[in-house]
Structure 1
Amino acid sequence: MMKNLLKTNFVIGVRSYVYPIYVLIGLAYGLMLMAFPEQYLPAMVPIFLLFEPGLVGFMFVGTEIFAEKKDGAIGALAVTPIEWRNYILAKTVIMSVLSVVGAVFIMGIGTRSLNGLSYIILGVLLCSIVYTLLGIAISAKYRDLDEYFVPILAVMVVSLLPFAHYHGYLTHSIWKALYIVPSYPALYFFKAPFEEISRGTLALSGIALLLWSAIAYHLAKIRFYKYAVEGLR
């Protein structure tokens, strides 16, 4: 069943141009980074890496769900003995793989180097899982991208704030609350190829993203079934 869902999701994503565009965005980000002087790359690459698996993925998975609602794909699956957790996991797996491909483009083209790629792949993989699941959880309630725009904007703003805090622009102690935002632990992985990040920090960041993944999966499972499945009946 999982194999069939992966195949079906992939075919639908390719036919709707969601997946090809997603990969092309990673390629475009890599080409854009080539325009920056080398000294700016340690600051710019992590931002582009967050946009690829996180914010763009958050938007695209919602767009894909909207399309599947409209063309009846979710409605058709609702009358089958499908385990909806497999549907959610299939989308998460595909988006995570595409995110890693995009991240390789960003690093390989944007920096002309693959040094520290293992940190990037791990960080992107975990970050993509979190934001894809959050995207499924939040978008399940909406019918189109117009309704989804405000949540996208809110997630984008909150997810970019850790970059400002990390670089010393938000100095008040209240901003320490940003450590709980999933983009913050991901940032340490994205910074690792450019500066010394301790293994302890990376380990804690990985644990934080795994915890976020568990929370996001729980939300996705509950909200998707409530709004996208039961809402069609």
Structure 2
Amino acid sequence: MMRNIIRTNLVLGVRSYVYPIYVLIGLAYGLMLMVFPEQYLPTMVPVFILFEPGLVGFMFVGTEIFAEKKDGAIGALSVTPIDWRSYIVAKTLIMGLLSVVGAVLIMMVGTRSLEGVSYVIIGAFLVSIVYTLLGIGISAKYHDLDDYFVPIMVVLIVSLLPFAHYHGYLTNGIWKVLYLIPSYPGIYFFRAPFEDIPAKTLALSTAALLLWAVIAYYVAKIRFYKYAVEGLR
């Protein structure tokens, strides 16, 4: 069942050019990084990698949901034996794998090196899972990209704030609340190729992202069923 759902999602994603465009965005980010002097790469590469698995993925999965609502693919989940929870998991896994491809392209093209890429792969996959599930849950209520625009901008701004805190621009103690944002643990994985990040920090970051993934899954499961599956009957 899961294999068939993944295969169908891949076919639809390729035919609609969503997945090829997603990978090409990673390549484009890598090419953009080539214009930066080498000393700026430790700062800019993590930002671009976060955009790929997190923020771009958040937007693209919403676009997919809207298209599949209009095509009737999601509505069919309520009258077919296909488990809609498997649909969510399949889409999340596909976006996670695409994010890894995009992140590796960013590293390979942007830095002309794959040193430390294992950290990037782990971080990109975990961050993608969280943001894809959040994207599924939040976008389920909307019907087109115009309605989804405000959530996209809110997630974009909030997710970039941890970078300002990480680099010492938000020093007030109140900004420690930013540690709760899922992009923050992702920063440590994306910085690991450029600086020595303690293993304990990476382990805690993994735990934080896994916890976020569980929370995001339940958000996606509840809202997708309420607004997309039941709402289209």
TM-score range, shorter chain: over 0.9
**Residue 150 of structure 1 pairs with residue 150 of structure 2:** yes
Q: Deviations over 1:24-43 (max 9, x none)?
A: 00000000000000000000
* 2:111 corresponds to: 111
**Distance (Å, rounded) in 1 between the aligned partners of 2:206 and 2:153:** 26
Offset at 1:161? 0.1
**Residue 167 of structure 1 pairs with residue 143 of structure 2:** no
Root-mean-square deviation over aligned CA pairs: 0.5
* 1:16 corresponds to: 16
Q: Where has structure 1 moved over 6 Å in runs of 4 or more?
A: none
* Amino acid paired to 1:37: P
**Distance (Å, rounded) in 2 between the aligned partners of 1:10 and 1:222:** 24
Offset at 1:81? 1.6
**Distance (Å, rounded) in 2 between the aligned partners of 1:182 and 1:227:** 24
**Distance (Å, rounded) in 1 between the aligned partners of 2:144 and 2:71:** 13
Report the identity percentage: 78
Offset at 1:77? 2.6
**Distance (Å, rounded) in 1 between the aligned partners of 2:83 and 2:222:** 13
- Unaligned segments of structure 2, at least 5 residues: none
* 2:177 corresponds to: 177
Q: Deviations over 1:124-174 (max 9, x none)?
A: 000000000000000000000000000000000000000000000000000
**Distance (Å, rounded) in 2 between the aligned partners of 1:192 and 1:117:** 9
SS at match of 1:115: coil
Q: Deviations over 1:100-128 (max 9, x none)?
A: 00011000000000000000000000000
* 2:2 corresponds to: 2
Q: Deviations over 1:165-223 (max 9, x none)?
A: 00000000000000000000000000000011100000000000000000000110000
* 1:83 corresponds to: 83
Q: TM-score, normalised by structure 1?
A: 0.99
Offset at 1:78? 2.1
* Amino acid paired to 1:94: I
**Residue 199 of structure 1 pairs with residue 193 of structure 2:** no
* 1:32 corresponds to: 32
Q: TM-score, normalised by structure 2?
A: 0.99
* 2:70 corresponds to: 70
**Distance (Å, rounded) in 1 between the aligned partners of 2:215 and 2:129:** 11
- Unaligned segments of structure 1, at least 5 residues: none
**Distance (Å, rounded) in 2 between the aligned partners of 1:219 and 1:8:** 24
* 1:223 corresponds to: 223
* 2:92 corresponds to: 92
